[in-house]
């Protein structure tokens, strides 16, 4: 049986992006259990893939290539002039495998450049380790990272021409052309947002306005809403104090789940108290009305408790993922659980095979 750290490293490289350095099972929690710090995109990377981390900064690709801005202010001016959205890429160019893969597999490929350049103005926000940026750029990058609460690399944020975020993603194990299509799909969130917000202004009753405003915001991640849509949230609370649209309930749950996540992370990472962490999740579920993907998200918090003395319990992981999938296999967390389940079974089989070889 793999030791816990080895299991997580393998599972992480096969299932999840982006460039978080795996140091314990608790780190996996941060990736899979909440869609607030990053987009937890599922990656169907083949077993055994071992990307190599380059030690040098990226080299300039051959034409056609993206014109990257390093300043969001200049990118906004260009986006307004050209009627485009803004694609802001936060990365560590020489210290993150997934940052480098995103560059070589997507951003330098003509099939991506040709498609995406029609839709976006591009901003490169880099946090290199082996070389220094100018003090001005370093200060500017750090300010934007904090303002947008970016915690992992690469994080790709889509913003409108005024620099207001509306979606986030990261590395995905897809072709460059498919990544461009993925961004186009996310761009539709902004189009629906704008249409619904405009429509809400024309409606006569508060109930109709609340419904349309909720629909305008419902596809935007809650962490983005809380940082960049405070006026709209305040208006929704005024129009719909009972929370009949459901969005305010989702927003209220967000900090509660985050506090639970941090508590579980502390118990597992610092105290290795897996039983108490599992009990904390069970208590939260018992005391909090949770349905659908909210319940799936909280159940994912039990993933790091599937261990004992740093040894992974494969059967416990499989049972947990099956429980999450049973709720709804078609949600983001349902699909993620399916990926974790498949790769856990594969790793379990490898472990069994290795033991049988040792016996014979």
Sorted by sequence, the CB contacts under 8 Å of residue 70 that are 6+ apart come out as 123, 124, 125, 126, 137, 140
Two structure tokens written together for 189? 């969130």
Angle (nearest 5°) at CA 329 between 335 and 254 = 70
Gap between the Cα atoms of 194 and 227, Å rounded: 18
Q: Is the peptide bond before 154 cis (omega within 30 degrees of 0)?
A: yes
Q: Domain residues of the chain, as ranges? A: 4-37+249-359, 68-187
Closest CA to 38 of 169, 184, 217: 169
pLDDT in tens, the chain (360 residues): 344 444 444 444 333 333 333 333 333 443 343 322 333 332 333 323 334 444 444 544 444 568 899 999 999 999 999 999 999 999 988 878 888 999 999 999 999 998 898 999 999 999 998 888 899 999 999 999 999 999 889 999 999 999 999 999 999 888 999 999 999 999 999 999 999 999 999 999 999 999 999 999 999 999 999 999 999 999 999 999 988 888 998 899 988 998 998 899 899 888 888 899 999 999 999 999 898 888 999 999 998 888 665 567 889 999 999 999 999 999 888 988 998 898 888 888 876 554 555 544
CATH architecture of 68-187: 3-Layer(aba) Sandwich (3.40)
- Let me know: does 264 contact 30? Beta carbons within 8 Å: no
Neighbours of 142 (CB within 10 A): 12
């Amino acid at each position: 049986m793999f030791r816990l750290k080895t299991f997580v490293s393998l599972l992480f490289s096969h299932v999840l992006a982006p460039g978080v350095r795996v140091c314990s099972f608790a780190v996996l929690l941060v990736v899979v259990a909440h869609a607030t710090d990053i987009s937890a995109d599922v990656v169907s990377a083949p077993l055994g893939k071992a990307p190599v981390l380059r030690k040098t900064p990226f080299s300039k690709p051959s034409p056609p290539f993206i014109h990257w801005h390093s300043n969001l202010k200049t990118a906004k001016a260009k986006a307004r002039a050209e009627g485009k959205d803004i694609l802001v890429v936060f990365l560590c160019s020489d210290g993150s495998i997934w940052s480098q893969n995103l560059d070589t597999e997507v951003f330098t490929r003509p099939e991506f450049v040709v498609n995406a350049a029609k839709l976006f103005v591009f901003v490169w926000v880099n946090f290199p380790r082996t070389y220094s940026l100018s003090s001005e750029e370093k200060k500017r990058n750090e300010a934007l990272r904090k303002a947008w609460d970016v915690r992992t690399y690469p994080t790709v944020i889509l913003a409108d021409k005024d620099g207001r975020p509306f979606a986030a993603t990261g590395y995905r194990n897809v072709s460059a052309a498919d990544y461009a299509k993925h961004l186009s799909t996310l761009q539709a969130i902004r189009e629906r947002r704008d249409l619904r917000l405009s429509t809400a202004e024309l409606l006569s009753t508060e109930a109709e306005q609340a419904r349309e405003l909720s629909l305008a915001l419902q596809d935007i991640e809650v962490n983005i809403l809380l940082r960049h849509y405070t006026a709209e949230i305040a208006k929704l609370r005024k129009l719909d104090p009972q929370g009949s649209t459901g969005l305010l309930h989702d927003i209220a749950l967000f900090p509660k789940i985050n506090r639970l996540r941090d508590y579980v992370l502390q118990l597992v990472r610092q105290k290795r108290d897996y039983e108490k962490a599992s009990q904390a999740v069970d208590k939260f579920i018992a005391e909090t009305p949770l349905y659908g993907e909210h319940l799936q998200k909280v159940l994912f918090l039990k993933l790091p408790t599937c261990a004992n003395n740093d040894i992974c319990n494969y059967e416990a992981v499989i049972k947990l993922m099956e429980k999450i999938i049973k709720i709804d296999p078609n949600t983001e967390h349902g699909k993620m659980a399916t990926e974790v389940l498949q790769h856990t079974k594969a790793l379990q089989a490898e472990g069994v095979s290795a033991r049988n070889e040792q016996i014979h």
